[in-house]
Amino acid sequence: MDRELKSDTRYVLGIEWDPKPEDVVDFDYWCDDDLEYLLKRFFLAKKGGFDTSIGSCPNLRIITLFEGNKEFTRNEINRMIEVL
């Protein structure tokens, strides 16, 4: 990931959706200064299967989460989502 992007934004959430072996994986990065907003947006998109910026997103999952230069572990991300 581009270090300039991480320095401009406090949180960077890497996501992918609809991964199929025969297709190219769709992915995106959501950036914001509010971690709770990013996680709620992810939770609602996963639950509803749709987000206004990426459209239909079956099988949505988080691939990475950064705060500045710190990358959160999978366990840390799962704990944050559990409290939503």
Cα 66 vs. chain centroid, distance in angstroms? 10
**H helix runs in the chain, sequence order:** 3-8, 35-48, 74-82
CA distance 69 to 79: 20
CA distance 83 to 79: 7
What pTM did the predictor assign? 0.79
CB 30 within 8 A of CB 75: no
27-45: pLDDT as tens digits: 899 999 999 999 999 999 9
The per-residue pLDDT for 39 is 95
CA distance 81 to 23: 28
